[in-house]
Structure 1
Amino acid sequence: MKSVITLVALAAVLPLAACNKSPSDKLADRVENAADNRADAMEANADVLRNQAARLDDRADKARDTGDSRSDAIEAADMNVASMSQERRDAIVANEAAAVR
């Protein structure tokens, strides 16, 4: 029973002790809270960047797959590349023109 009374009394006194913080304790708490807020913002930014990086990786994979498919189609068609203008070849390489008609 004594321990229960002691615990209840201690629980009632602790919040009051927290209210009587020294100015340096208050400043230290503010510094810690500000650092926590900055760290939370950095972590949120890192999450956004990770998501953007994953999407960019997916786009890069698709670009490689498209290039492989276009390359295979050109080789399979055995096109007369010598008769094409340089502009047409450049457009095919830049993915601005159909590889095979």
Structure 2
Amino acid sequence: MKKLVLMAVAIVAVSFASCGNKAANAEQATADSIRIADSIAAVEAAAAEAAAAAAADTVAADSSVVAE
């Protein structure tokens, strides 16, 4: 009987140990996905700003040419 109770306690302890960090892992995954989304948004914003600057440079160069 003692072995049966000891085995049940061991099973419960292992099940608690294996399921203990799910909340922390989910929180870390959420933080990682937010960080990645912010990085992607920053890169897209920089690319859009560079494209706008390039378009402005093209317009400025075209308007400086004087046709005679």
**TM-score w.r.t. length of structure 1:** 0.51
**Structure 2 residue runs without a partner (length 5+):** 63-68
RMSD: 1.9
Residue type of the alignment partner of 1:52:
R
Q: Does 1:40 align with 2:23?
A: yes
**TM-score w.r.t. length of structure 2:** 0.71
Deviation >3 Å, runs of 4+: none
Q: Percent identity?
A: 14
**Structure 1 residue runs without a partner (length 5+):** 1-20, 80-101
Structure 1 counterpart of 2:45, from 57, 62, 68: 62
- Tell me how many residue pairs correspond in the alignment: 59
State the structure with bigger RCO (CA 8 A, min sep 6), 1 or 2: 1
Residue type of the alignment partner of 2:32:
L
- Work out the CA distance in 2 between the residues paired with 1:77 and 1:62: 22
Give the 5 Å matches for 1:65-76. 65-76=48-59
**Aligned equivalent of 1:22:** 5
Deviations 1:33-76 (A, max 9, x none): 12112233222211110111111121111111111111111111
Residue type of the alignment partner of 1:76:
V
Residue type of the alignment partner of 2:48:
D
- Work out the CA distance in 1 between the residues paired with 2:48 and 2:19: 43
